[in-house]
Amino acid sequence: MNYENLLIETKERICYITINRESKLNALNESTLEELYNALSDCFYDRSIGGVIITGAGQKAFVAGADISEFAELNVEQGMELARHGQKYVFNLIENGPKPVVAAINGFALGGGLELAMACHIRVASDNARVGQPEVTLGLIPGYGGTQRLTQLIGKGKAMELILTADMINAAEALQLGLVNHVVTPEQLLPKAEEILNKILAKAPLAVAAGIKAINASLTDGINGYETEISEFGKCFGTDDLKEGVDAFLNKRKPLFKGR
């Protein structure tokens, strides 16, 4: 598939999705979101791909937010539809995806950019990254899950402060808050993201998917996460990979998982 706003590259089992609107600091316009939906759906479907790294083009920004130029003419219904559609087809898709997605935050991650990073399963930031939810500056609030995921990740008190003040914080502060998992130099950003993802890719894929599902269940309204865990735990016993993992352990050899 040809993409106008994304660069897609697959190396070994990792698909690299680079948001490529550098002149607009990789802001997420409607067509970029649509392309993200297509690219992520392909990655989740393609058995040769084990996981995804999302980053931004250039040295300055991961994603500086939703594209503000598309906001001027929207009415109430269109605003709701923008948020609902984006949440469902990109942000929730990533969070609930069956394969690990790592955000490599190479600069500004603001508004929808931080929301995109927060939807990913793991976040690695370069030490020049700056993150925040500046929407109230525009007369808005986050619409792609930011009020929920920021609260889940850093707690209500700090989420209130960040969203209501629109403050931008640096990578060290984000690390301290648990908003990102690791901070490294810009040169080390992709290698660190790859190191983490490759560790995951050496594990049993169906167990990894089950782990994502059960962890997400802990924060999903109306779902009993403990029950999800029981059911996902049980399902693992029906996989070839569990037999392989246990046999490899008992015979002191490395397991060879097939995702079955």
Cα–Cα distances (Å) from 191 to 8, 10, 120, in that order, read: 17, 15, 17
CB-CB neighbours of 77 under 10 Å: 8
| Residue number, 132 or 245, with CB nearest to ligand COA | 132
- How far is 123 from 165, CA to CA, in rounded Å? 23
- How far is 72 from 75, CA to CA, in rounded Å? 9
Contacts of ligand COA in 137-176 (CB under 6 A)? 138
Which one is catalytic: 115, 161, 194, 244? 115
Could you confirm whether 95 is annotated as catalytic?
A: no
200 scored as a contact of ligand COA (CB under 6 A): no
What angle, rounded to 10 degrees, do the helices at 146-154 and 112-119 form? 60
Task: Rule CB under 6 A: choose which of 39, 66, 109, 117 binds ligand COA.
Answer: 66
Give me the least distance between CB of 79 and ligand COA, in Å please. 12
What angle, rounded to 10 degrees, do the helices at 146-154 and 156-165 form? 130
SS (H, E, C) 122-142: EEEEECCCEEECCHHHHCCCC
68 scored as a contact of ligand COA (CB under 6 A): yes
Give me the least distance between CB of 65 and ligand COA, in Å please. 3
134 scored as a contact of ligand COA (CB under 6 A): yes
- How far is 97 from 132, CA to CA, in rounded Å? 24
54 scored as a contact of ligand COA (CB under 6 A): no
The span of 22-30, 91-99, 179-187, 227-235 binding ligand COA (CB under 6 A) equals 22-30
Give the total of residues touching ligand COA (CB under 6 A).
16
Give me the least distance between CB of 248 and ligand COA, in Å please. 48
Output b/e per residue, 123-155; b: 16+ Cβ within 10 A. bbbbebbbbbbbbeeeeeebbbbbbbbbbebbe
Give me the least distance between CB of 182 and ligand COA, in Å please. 23
Task: Rule CB under 6 A: choose which of 6, 25, 103, 105 binds ligand COA.
Answer: 25
Looking at the annotation, which residues are catalytic? Answer: 115, 135
Task: Write out the residues near ligand COA by the rule CB under 6 A.
Answer: 24-25, 27, 64-69, 108, 110-112, 134-135, 138
